[in-house]
Amino acid sequence: MKQYTPQTIEMFARYVKKETIGFNYLVNNGYKELLATLDAIRDDKEAFKFLMDNKYFELAAFVNAIWDDSKAFKVLIDKKAFDWAACANIINGDDSAEAALARANKRHFIGLAYAIQQRIHEDGDRNVSPWAVFQNVFNFKKAFKKALNKDEDN
């Protein structure tokens, strides 16, 4: 597993918070996998595929562990990616994971967990606003119409 410095994790957290400095740091230092990790967390299938194709299995497992996938969490533990496992657990509301990271002087992972948690909430709020609901219904209708057209072609 690729090791990341505390500064890199902090910059990843800043990127998650939509800070340009975090994005620039990750791009300029070749951390495409961390950019893809956020996109995968936000349900971008291509980003998740990028992680898998390029053998960033721990980051892919981290993405799934955030969404309460116990098998993905086990992968993190088996691969000794304890910091990523604890980070996922913080996002899922485990206070003891935060305490463990604090004792291990890994506060940068705690900051990352809260940044991701906040971004997930922002994304969720955006999807339930009246305008977003209208857009989602419109997109669903377009997708449904497209599927119907495909069936008619076959």
Residue 68 neighbours by CB under 8 Å, 6+ apart: 92
What is the reported pLDDT for 124?
79
Locate tokens 């390029």: which residue? Answer: 54
Q: Are the CB atoms for 49 and 57 separated by under 8 Å?
A: no
Q: What pTM was computed for the model?
A: 0.79
d(CA 38, CA 3): 17
pLDDT over 70 at 133, yes or no:
no
Percent share of the chain, pLDDT over 70: 81
What is the reported pLDDT for 1?
78
Give the tens place of pLDDT for each residue, 15-30. Answer: 999 999 999 999 999 9
**Domain regions of the chain by residue span:** 6-128
Burial class from Cβ neighbours inside 10 Å (0-12, 13-18, 19+) for residue 41 reads buried
